[in-house]
Structure 1
Amino acid sequence: MQRPERINDKQFVIGMENKIVIITGANSGIGKAAALRFASEGYRVIMACRNMEISKVVQIQITELSNNYNVDLMELDVSSFDSIRKFCSEFKAKYPHLDILIHNAAYLNYGEKEYKLSAEHIELSFATNTFGPFLLNNLLADHLEKSQDPRILNACTTNIKNFFDPGRQIEFDNLRGEFRNTRRYNVYKMYGDSKMALLILTFKMAEEFKSREIKVNALQINRVKLSKETIKKLSSFWKVLAWAQNFTNPLPSGMADNYFHICTSNEFSNVTGQLINHKREIVQPSTKEKGIAQLKNIFGSSNYPKYASDSQNAEKIWNLSTELTNE
């Protein structure tokens, strides 16, 4: 057993503070719970957040609760390519390597009825949930290679089950809001489409990074308790439903434990290119999507839509990601 070392009157295990994890959107919900979990285990945690005013308060909370002073806060807007490049440049200048990269930040603005575009004129859901993580992965890959066990984890969603509908497609022709004046905006559809695109990129990037020994997986986030701030954004019906579900929905800390386990345990040390459910089981592509099988797919957690395994979809989203990020 390693000898504990005293730093600022706090107890750590020698070497553990050199394990570095970046968590995007680490100032609330699952991201905050995950930052606390990693910090409590002695990791050096980089909170990559957009709102620095809110995040600074959370950083202090996590530091005090974990007794870990290696909790760093760095500004990052995942929807902005300029912000991503600045963040990566500053991170590389500050830290010699990266062990774990968790893409937790996401854009889902409940009640939004209009197309919102990023600084690069990309629909905001896709800029934040798909193309931002793609660029971060590419820019940080060289630092991840320096780790003995580099892992990337993408936060996915049960919303992708909508793709069990054979008519559901990603609107590849409208990711820059080309049809924002003629197509009705649906925040839930854009969220689901962008997360499906992220899942497809998970599979593709796992292949691309295999020779560099960087593992890339996705976690399908199940229901968790919503914050008061989130519930306030909902319409009256969904607000009542959300309050009712919060009585039974688990706390974000449970999903944060899944983040930690997938990114640190020996169980997943050789797993890459997989979608993992909230039970820590590897989800398989569906073979049947009609009748009773369809119902089992929708209400179960063992299969994901075959749409995600379509090689043409993979080429489309990969080429588009490369083109838009100039990587």
Structure 2
Amino acid sequence: MNKKICFITGANSGIGKATAVQLAERGYVVLIGARNESRGLQAVADVKEMSSSETVELVQIDLSLKASISHAVKEIKSKFDHLDVLIHNAADFDVSRKAPVLTAEGVESIWATNHIGPVLLTNGLLDLLKNSKQGRIIMVASQGLMLHPRMKVDLNDPEYQHRKFSVAKAYYQSKLAQVMYTYWLAKKLSDTAVTVNCIRVTNVKIDLNRYPDLSALMKFLYSIKSKFSISPEQMAETYTYLADDPAVSKTTGKYFNEKNEMVDSSAYSKEEKHWEELMELTKGYVAEGFSVKPSREGLSR
């Protein structure tokens, strides 16, 4: 197959779907990752129509579950001998959540979906990315991290088992981990043709219908916020830039905003010793599966 291939998780709506359209228009084979099969198939139909492309397929995947990730990896490998772009767009951020929710494999859902899942998926598809002439891995973080400049990944309790749960803090912790994973992985792959970069997503208009349990007050606040937000299509332009533009073919280990500009992250996130601590913790989950919760006694928070 001569066409470039891109796999986008969480591509059945929002920024992921908009990116799928843009890359399909550029001639890519686009694999739409979605948890829900019916929504995923509808997204495939929509993207095909909007892009006038027939090279759009569904890959059903739940990033919170090791079994689902393994199945998706096997499916992709059975069809393709290479992968040019992997975009980790899927995320768990239910703003109405008041307490931790465990997955079927026993791990707090936000930590599993937003950090451990992307690491597992990357591991599973890395050989296909290395088979590309120039593979690109794109992580996704959040501008909201700027409101938490002193945040650290709690190595002793990343799943909020023993501390007060906050859905926002759990989300931003997982996104901080993705920034650090970007830097760590870019260094590990520095002798390959695979690049790794991260996007700092700004305020983007969201579909409030996805959150039926949201309070009236929160819906009102989000409606105000949306007036100062960009569209999913506008944000997707940065995804497409990092996925396809020749200008960044050799750029790796960087953090980009919605204007395609390199930006800085927190001092904590840039220290290599913190990357190594995070990945030591992460490897405990990845090596044995999500049901194992590694003990981090002895590591400072």
Q: CA deviation at 1:186?
A: 0.5
Match of 1:35 in 2: 20
Match of 2:8 in 1: 23
Q: CA deviation at 1:117?
A: 1.7
Alignment match of 2:175 (pick from 195, 212, 218): 195
Match of 1:234 in 2: 214
What's the CA shift string for 1:215-255, capped at 9, x where partnerless? 00000000111113146443333311211232342210011
**Alignment check: 8 A CA contact 1:49 1:55 kept:** yes
Q: Confirm or deny that 1:250 pairs with 2:230.
A: yes
The TM-score normalised by the length of structure 2 is 0.91
Instruction: Look at both structures and tell me which one has the larger radius of gyration over its CA atoms.
Output: 1
Letter in 2 for 1:170: V
* Distance in 2 between residues matched to 1:113 and 1:326, nearest whole Å: 30
Q: CA deviation at 1:277?
A: 1.0
Match of 1:309 in 2: 270
What's the CA shift string for 1:252-299, capped at 9, x where partnerless? 001111111111112111110011111111113xxxxxxxxxxxxxxx
Q: Confirm or deny that 1:206 pairs with 2:191.
A: no
Any residues of structure 2 matched to 1:49-64 within 5 Å, and which? 49-64=34-49
**Alignment check: 8 A CA contact 1:36 1:62 kept:** yes
* Distance in 2 between residues matched to 1:104 and 1:238, nearest whole Å: 24
Structure 1 SS opposite 2:8? strand
Letter in 2 for 1:175: P
Letter in 1 for 2:270: S
Question: Would the alpha carbon gap of residues 246 and 152 (structure 1) be closer, same or farther in structure 2, given more than 3 Å must change?
Answer: same
How large is the RMSD of aligned CA atoms in angstroms? 1.6
* Distance in 2 between residues matched to 1:35 and 1:114, nearest whole Å: 33
Match of 1:149 in 2: 134
**Alignment check: 8 A CA contact 1:152 1:217 kept:** yes
Match of 1:174 in 2: 157
Structure 2 SS opposite 1:250? coil
Match of 1:102 in 2: 87
Match of 1:278 in 2: 258
The TM-score normalised by the length of structure 1 is 0.84
Flag the structure with more relative contact order, 1 or 2, with Cα contacts below 8 A and sequence separation at least 6: 2
* Distance in 1 between residues matched to 2:86 and 2:245, nearest whole Å: 15
Letter in 2 for 1:174: D
Structure 2 SS opposite 1:90? helix
Please list every run of 5 or more consecutive structure 2 residues that lacks an aligned counterpart in the other structure: 289-301
Q: Confirm or deny that 1:323 pairs with 2:280.
A: no
Q: CA deviation at 1:115?
A: 1.0
